[in-house]
């Protein structure tokens, strides 16, 4: 069975040390979650282990072969076919042979009468067979049929961009779980998955004998699958030997111990410096004190060389202040509202202060409904009415905001009425102050999500329309959003597949596969 050993790994970007002397082991058959704040280097660490990039110092060893699901699989501008997508998940031998075969096929189609091209094609076919390519195609066919209900032969030449994000994730997971590699590196495998698919993922991770190291921000997925948790923080790692259920308490206890150790170290450091200062003065008066002074200097030097305890990670402090405001009692009224080919006609009345989770599988029209309520031009039948003093604020799952791209965060906040000082204070509450002069487009997904929530706060929305707001948020930021919503004076309608997040809601509107809308007091997965 495969394992991963990481020893004293150091990596820097642009002169900034991302992490230093990182060491941990992922044992045979373990399911280990890699967590940490957005931007701490989780994806970078996976890329180092996968061999995509090299560390400055340290070693990485593994056994059993590694299969990798990268964070943005299939994001190649629509040029990659399903076949090329699957080759990207294959072992090196099959990937090289498959790429050569695809090239030989193209040349043969262009020059069918060229004997040299025909010979090269025959050799590529032989190499493909020798590498185990045809056996791989059998596996790919099973994976295509089970994950997206189509044969490999039918979709092999389709652009992978024609598959939804969820279909890409499900297909990649099927391939990696059925593959020969004994170690899997999965970067946010649960993103874009609906609840049913997440449950299948959890079941598959628990059942597989493979060793798995994965990044996830979904607290329910972490609770269901992780038997150890590696946290990137303070330019190093901390390994929690248990699952997610007691992770928060264990981390707080650890931070408390580190605080106490640093307090004691600082006290001893001050004591030794004061001792050296006092003996220096005494040594100038009495030569007999010179030896004691020298001993104290040596003691201080050795103490400082040993250094303080492990670096204290800075506690994240995201403070979301979604104020909202009073509106009419009836916030939203829908009468026989329907979206052709997606959502059947339904009636709905939303009252001030309600927290409504809009649930359903991928592709059932939930995001279309939010966009419609937000004022976008969405083809529909029937009607809906917003109540008095209702100001909708829309959080888009895709973070599609062309008006923000090409502008720094401070410039965008200036457009929303904040001067630079007020903008920086607001960014500080969202842990974005160091990115104030950075283009929105260059932020990480989690940083973009926090900034978009800040804009909702500043614009004074009284009806929050949130489309998968926790998808890219780290665990602390998701907790901060929940606290912010608890204090929000207004109404919330959220599309979510985050079961942990959905616990905070008191009403659940379900959009079924056939477009039927039902109103329930509990989520559909219970």
**DSSP code of residue 287:** G
Burial class of 305 by CB neighbour count within 10 A (0 to 12, 13 to 18, 19+): exposed
Please check whether residue 162 is in contact with residue 142, taking contact to mean a CB–CB distance below 8 angstroms.
no
pLDDT at position 147 is 86
**Alpha-carbon torsion (447, 449, 452, 453), positive or negative:** negative
Separation CA 124–CA 144 (nearest Å): 24
* Nearest Cα to Cα of residue 192 among 213, 216, 223: 216
**Please, what is the end-to-end C-alpha distance for the chain in angstroms?**
36
**DSSP code of residue 74:** T
The CA-atom distances, in angstroms, between 42 and each of 8, 36, 237, 468 are 16, 7, 11, 21
How many Å is the Cα radius of gyration of the chain? 28
User: b/e per residue, 485-519, with b = 16+ CB within 10 A?
Assistant: beebebbbbbbbbbbbbbeebebbbbbeeebebee
Separation CA 153–CA 131 (nearest Å): 20
* Nearest Cα to Cα of residue 320 among 457, 503, 472, 492: 457
Give the length of the chain: 526
Separation CA 485–CA 479 (nearest Å): 10
Name residues whose C-beta falls within 8 Å of residue 24's C-beta, 6 or more positions apart in sequence: 6, 230, 237, 239
Q: Could you give the residue ranges of the DSSP H alpha helices within 226-289?
A: 247-285
Per-residue pLDDT of the chain (526 residues; tens, 9 = 90+): 789 999 999 998 877 788 888 999 999 999 999 998 877 889 899 999 988 888 888 999 988 889 988 876 655 444 588 998 999 888 889 989 999 998 898 898 888 888 888 899 899 999 999 999 999 999 999 999 988 888 998 888 888 878 877 788 889 999 999 988 899 999 989 887 888 889 999 999 999 999 999 999 899 999 999 999 999 988 889 999 999 989 989 988 888 888 899 999 999 999 999 999 999 988 888 887 888 999 999 999 999 998 888 777 777 778 888 888 899 899 999 999 999 999 999 999 999 999 999 998 888 899 999 999 999 999 999 999 999 999 999 998 777 777 888 889 999 999 988 999 999 999 999 889 988 999 888 887 788 889 999 999 898 899 999 998 998 888 888 888 999 999 999 999 999 999 999 988 989 999 998 999 999 888 866 5
Please check whether residue 517 is in contact with residue 348, taking contact to mean a CB–CB distance below 8 angstroms.
yes
> Which tokens in the block code for residue 394?
């829309």
pLDDT at position 290 is 87
Separation CA 39–CA 202 (nearest Å): 25
pLDDT at position 97 is 93
**Alpha-carbon torsion (40, 42, 46, 49), positive or negative:** positive
pLDDT at position 526 is 52
């Amino acid at each position: 069975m495969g394992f991963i050993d990481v020893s004293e790994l150091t990596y820097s970007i642009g002169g900034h040390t991302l992490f230093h002397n990182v060491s941990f082991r992922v044992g045979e058959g373990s399911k280990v979650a890699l967590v940490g704040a957005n931007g701490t280097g989780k994806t970078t660490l996976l890329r180092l282990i996968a061999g995509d990039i090299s560390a400055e110092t340290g070693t990485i060893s593994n056994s059993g072969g590694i299969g990798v699901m990268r964070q943005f699989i299939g994001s190649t501008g629509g040029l990659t076919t399903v076949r090329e997508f699957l080759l990207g998940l294959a072992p090196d031998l099959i990937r090289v042979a498959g790429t050569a075969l695809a090239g030989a096929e193209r040349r043969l189609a262009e020059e069918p009468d060229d004997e040299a091209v025909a010979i090269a094609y025959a050799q590529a076919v032989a190499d493909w067979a020798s590498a185990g390519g045809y056996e791989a195609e059998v596996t790919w066919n099973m994976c295509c049929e089970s994950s997206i209900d189509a044969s490999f032969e039918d979709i092999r030449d389709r652009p992978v961009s024609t598959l939804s994000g969820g279909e890409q994730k499900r297909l990649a997971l099927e391939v990696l779980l059925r593959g020969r590699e004994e170690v899997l590196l999965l970067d946010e495998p649960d993103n874009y998955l609906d609840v049913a698919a997440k449950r299948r993922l959890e079941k598959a991770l628990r059942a597989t004998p493979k060793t798995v190291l994965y990044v996830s921000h979904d607290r329910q997925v972490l609770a269901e699958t992780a038997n150890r948790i590696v946290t990137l923080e303070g330019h190093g790692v901390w390994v929690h030997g248990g699952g997610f259920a007691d992770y928060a308490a264990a981390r707080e206890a650890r931070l408390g111990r580190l605080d106490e150790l640093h307090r004691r170290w600082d006290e001893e450091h001050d004591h030794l410096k004061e001792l050296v200062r006092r003996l220096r003065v005494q040594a100038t008066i009495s030569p007999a004190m010179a030896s004691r002074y020298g001993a104290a200097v040596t003691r201080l030097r050795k103490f400082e060389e040993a250094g303080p305890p492990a670096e204290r990670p800075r506690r994240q402090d995201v403070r979301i202040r979604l104020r909202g405001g009073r509106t009419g009692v009836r916030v939203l009224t829908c009468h026989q509202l329907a979206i052709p080919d997606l959502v059947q006609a339904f009636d709905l009345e939303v009252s001030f202060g309600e927290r409504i989770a809009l649930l359903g599988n991928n592709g059932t029209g939930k995001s279309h409904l939010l966009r419609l309520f937000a004022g976008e031009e969405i083809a529909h039948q029937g009607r809906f009415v917003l109540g008095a003093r209702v100001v909708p604020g829309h959080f888009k799952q895709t973070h599609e905001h062309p008006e923000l791209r090409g502008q720094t965060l401070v410039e965008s906040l200036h457009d929303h009425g904040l001067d630079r000082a007020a903008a920086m204070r607001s960014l500080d509450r969202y842990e974005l102050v160091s990115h104030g002069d950075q283009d929105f487009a260059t932020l990480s997904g989690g940083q973009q999500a926090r900034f978009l929530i800040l804009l909702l706060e500043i614009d004074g929305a009284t009806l929050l329309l949130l489309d998968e707001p926790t998808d890219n948020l780290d665990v602390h930021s998701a907790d901060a959003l929940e606290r912010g919503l608890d204090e929000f004076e207004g109404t919330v309608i959220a599309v979510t597949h985050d079961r942990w997040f959905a616990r905070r809601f008191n009403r659940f509107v379900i959009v079924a596969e056939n477009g039927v809308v039902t109103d329930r007091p509990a989520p559909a997965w219970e």
